[in-house]
Structure 1
Amino acid sequence: MMTDPIADMLTRIRNAALARHDRTEVPASKMKQAVAEILKSEGYIADVRPSESNSGKLTIVLKYGRDRSSAIDGVRRVSRPGRRVYVKHDRIPRVLSGLGISILSTSHGLMSDRDARKNKLGGELLCEVW
């Protein structure tokens, strides 16, 4: 039984990027789909789609540079099942002075730190990506 499916997804992405795989598959859920869509819109992954072989999985296509360096340098899970971290809109931390992003779960759904600050929404700080 998995206690933290978001951390599992982030670890699969991190491991696949370190191993220079083209894609990775994760078990599907609405929250994982939303996190992957934010990563795609921010330019950290190339694509996210339902898996062709198994309908219960998401295929995440990773993004690399010309020298085969990954677009994702690091990922950190902030709020865990054992320790939830909530922030107000004016207390959302900047990741690497704005070079990375935070993903928050707000009352209006999942969004990046930039969108949450713009909409003046706080919430649960799920993870940081740089």
Structure 2
Amino acid sequence: MMMTDPLADMLTRIRNAIMMRHEQVTMPHSRFKESVLKVLKKEGFVVDFETVGSGTKKALVVALKYATDGTAAITNIRKVSKPGRRFFGGYQELKPFRGGLGVRILTTSKGVVSEAEARNQKLGGEILVEVW
């Protein structure tokens, strides 16, 4: 069966793993998911991720980040732009999310970037994810 929204599936897997206090979570691999995870790692929301397997059986293993007291680095993660309703923003419209404590992830003509990078490079695009 084909998945209609692989990014939403990835976010749900991460959200569920955090609720259950798992150290890592495994999901099917795609280059798009990998690029979103690169931004999450760069922004400090996940420890690391790696690709395991080969061919059509590739998977992503994501190491989730927790503080010493056990609280997760990701308080909430949600998909903004959905298949039925897309959200786009120009770089002038991209203000710091949650007072700079959260991050929006966008897909632009230059690839998947955080909103801060999009503002610096003067790029607009589709707002995919909000993380805080």
Which residue number in structure 2 is paired with residue 17 of structure 1? Answer: 18
Q: CA RMSD for the aligned pairs?
A: 1.4
Mapped to 1, the partners of 2:4 and 2:116 lie a distance apart of: 29
Which residue number in structure 2 is paired with residue 41 of structure 1? Answer: 42
Mapped to 2, the partners of 1:93 and 1:8 lie a distance apart of: 27
Mapped to 1, the partners of 2:104 and 2:41 lie a distance apart of: 14
Mapped to 2, the partners of 1:122 and 1:9 lie a distance apart of: 24
Indicate which of 82, 99, 102 corresponds to 2:101: 99
> How far off its partner does 1:93 sit?
4.1
- Tell me, what secondary structure is at the counterpart of 1:6? helix
With over 3 angstroms needed to count, the CA separation of the structure-2 counterparts of 1:55 and 1:49, relative to structure 1, is farther
Q: How many residues align?
A: 130
User: If the length of structure 2 is used for normalisation, what is the TM-score?
Assistant: 0.94
Runs ≥4 residues deviating over 2 A? 51-55
Which residue number in structure 2 is paired with residue 26 of structure 1? Answer: 27
- Tell me, what secondary structure is at the counterpart of 1:127? strand
Q: Indicate whether 1:67 and 2:60 are aligned.
A: no
Q: Where does 1:47-62 land on structure 2 (aligned, <5 Å)?
A: 47-51=48-52, 55-62=57-64
Mapped to 2, the partners of 1:93 and 1:82 lie a distance apart of: 24
What per-residue deviation string (whole Å, max 9, x for no partner) do you get for residues 23-44 of structure 1?
0011100110000011011100
Aligned partners of 1:49 and 1:58 also within 8 Å: yes
Mapped to 2, the partners of 1:17 and 1:66 lie a distance apart of: 15
> How far off its partner does 1:92 sit?
1.7
With over 3 angstroms needed to count, the CA separation of the structure-2 counterparts of 1:59 and 1:108, relative to structure 1, is same
Which residue number in structure 1 is paired with residue 117 of structure 2? Answer: 115
Aligned partners of 1:25 and 1:51 also within 8 Å: no
Determine what percentage of the aligned residue pairs are the same residue.
Answer: 47
Structure 2 unaligned blocks of 5 or more: none
User: If the length of structure 1 is used for normalisation, what is the TM-score?
Assistant: 0.95
Structure 1 unaligned blocks of 5 or more: none
Which residue number in structure 2 is paired with residue 125 of structure 1? Answer: 127
Which residue number in structure 2 is paired with residue 4 of structure 1? Answer: 5
